Amino acid sequence: MKLNIITILLLLILTSSCTTEPNLSKEGPFKVTNVIDGDTLDALIDGETERIRLSGINTPEKGDCYYIEAKDELSKLVLNKYIYLEKDRTDKGKYGRLLRYIYFENKMINEDLVEEGYAKVFDKYKDDTKHYLRLKAKEDIAKRSSLGVWAC
């Protein structure tokens, strides 16, 4: 019970800091041209196609439970739409992809995917994920409700 109250308070603090005003730390808008899987997409940035890895989260790999659903959800949310990007602590991952938080209509897509059970928080990189606690709070909601990947 005490943990649930702490989680709720954390969520209230985090969501109260969200505004509809543009965030100066975001770059864009950039058009999403392709969705690779549930946590990777291509966007047109300054005339070049860049591969972007949604930072702080991990979705199922091809052939795993909930892979198709996660990819379809990301496609529904951002394909052929204009997004804004926020850099994480590290600019690029080990495969050369940009590590970013994706925003569409002032909503963090990384966070939405976790909260709805399409993704898990990538705990391996928690020290390099600036929104780690925010994402973990949303993951707790999905886990307790056995949503998506938590029902596999």
Instruction: Give catalytic residue positions.
Output: 53, 61, 97
The three-class DSSP label of residue 17 is coil
H or E element, residue 112: helix 109-115
The three-class DSSP label of residue 69 is helix
Radius of gyration of the chain measured on its C-alpha atoms: 15
Nearest to 83 by CA among 49, 43, 56, 50: 43
Q: How far is it, in rounded angstroms, from Cα 53 to Cα 55?
A: 6
